[in-house]
Amino acid sequence: MTTIAQPVLDTPFVVGDREFQSRLMVGTGKYASNELMVQAIEASGAEVVTVAVRRVDLARSKDTGVLHHLDTSRYFLLANTAGCYTADDAVRYARLARAAGFNEWVKLEVIGDQESLLPDTAGLLDATRVLAAEGFKVMAYTNDDLITALRLEDAGAVAVMPLASPIGSGLGLLNPFAIRTIKHRLSVPVIVDAGVGTASDACVTMEQGVDGILMNTGIAAAGDPVRMATAMKLAVEAGRLAHLAGRMPRREVAVPSSPLGGMLA
Amino acid sequence: MAHLEVGSEAVAVVVNGDPREVPAGSTVASLLASLDLDPRLVVVERNHEILRDRDSFPRVELATDDTIEIVHFVGGG
């Protein structure tokens, strides 16, 4: 009997003290319905799912909470601090999220500008230090600046999350060089967060060698979110494998694939 | 408002940014119940201090001018 050994195609994806199978993390915002959100997340194969912290709408409290719809025994909830413009606010939201009782992880956002939604990197560093000292596992959403990424690692972030392009823009990976540089220099996982608009964006991003991708709008705002979630899953896997495989060298001249010899006289 | 017993007055608090009157002796637990909220699905902050222990909700009485924030998880990225 012949058995073919299953090749080890990927290395473990470890963030902090957790190991995940899927390198795709997804958000829960902007879906047309909760049913669609649940189906899309399922199709994405993601294990890590982000949520936001907001006031309960006391006028209609029944249907606004995401926990009514998500199976929290199945998904790892990653609370974000989206909408926070100061380190103090972000710390407050992170503490509220932890008090929900699921875990001590936070996707830390300190936004610096309403129009671009680019991070306030000084505030981000301050908040990272405070939260890391309190035992939080901080995944820090940042821009694609190497020095900020290095400082975030020093400040105790368990993962650094540079953007591909601005939040919700769908512009794809604007600076592959910057992302590669960050990945090359950091010890903690680099997970690209924001800007991935379609499957090819996800694939190219993973081909840079990053550890994972977090996306929301790229799936939620697609014409068919469930199909796009499936495409993103495949693209993340394809890009990861292509990175591990190592691409052929680029050449500016053609090189024949078939033998030159043996041609008929 | 219905007749209040001697010594019982309404207490003015602010809940999620809106002024609200609750009966004297109200607790965090009774406030959540009156709002039809499941304590396990929300986090409560009282005067900027998180009430980490949900078991304490029935014992935490609301006082005049308390600022209560009730938050939960919503969809986000």
Which CATH number do you get for residue B39?
A: 3.10.20.30
Q: Is A157 in CB contact (< 8 Å) with chain B?
A: no
Q: Is B64 in CB contact (< 8 Å) with chain A?
A: no
Counting as low any pLDDT under 70, the low residues of chain A are 1-7, 61-63
Kindly tell me if the per-residue pLDDT of B1 is higher than 70.
Answer: no
Kindly tell me if the per-residue pLDDT of B5 is higher than 90.
Answer: no
- Select from A148, A141, A156 the least CA-distant residue to A188: A156
- Select from B74, B37, B52 the least CA-distant residue to A95: B52
Question: Catalytic positions of A, please?
Answer: 107
Q: Could you give the CA distance from residue A253 to residue A260 in angstroms, rounded to a whole number?
A: 16
In this structure, is residue B77 part of a structural domain?
no
Rounded to an integer, the average pLDDT of B10-37 is 95
**Structure confidence at residue A3 (pLDDT):** 64
CB-based contact B27:B39 (threshold 8 Å): no
In this structure, is residue B46 part of a structural domain?
yes
**Structure confidence at residue B21 (pLDDT):** 95
In this structure, is residue B76 part of a structural domain?
no
Q: Sketch out chain A's domains with CATH numbers.
A: 17-245 (3.20.20.70)
**Structure confidence at residue A7 (pLDDT):** 64
In this structure, is residue B62 part of a structural domain?
yes
Rounded to an integer, the average pLDDT of B28-56 is 95
Residues of A with Cβ-Cβ distance to B35 under 8 angstroms: 56, 58, 61
Number of domains in chain B: 1
**Structure confidence at residue A216 (pLDDT):** 97
**Structure confidence at residue B4 (pLDDT):** 47
Which distant-in-sequence residues (6+ apart) come within 8 Å of A35 by Cβ? none
In this structure, is residue B35 part of a structural domain?
yes
- As a whole number, the mean pLDDT across chain B is 90
ipTM of the complex: 0.87
**What are the residue ranges of helices labelled H in chain B?**
28-34
Q: Could you give the CA distance from residue A209 to residue A191 in angstroms, rounded to a whole number?
A: 10
Residues 35-54 of A with CB under 8 A from B: 37, 50-54
Could you read off the pLDDT of A86-109 as tens digits, one per residue?
A: 999 999 999 999 999 999 999 999
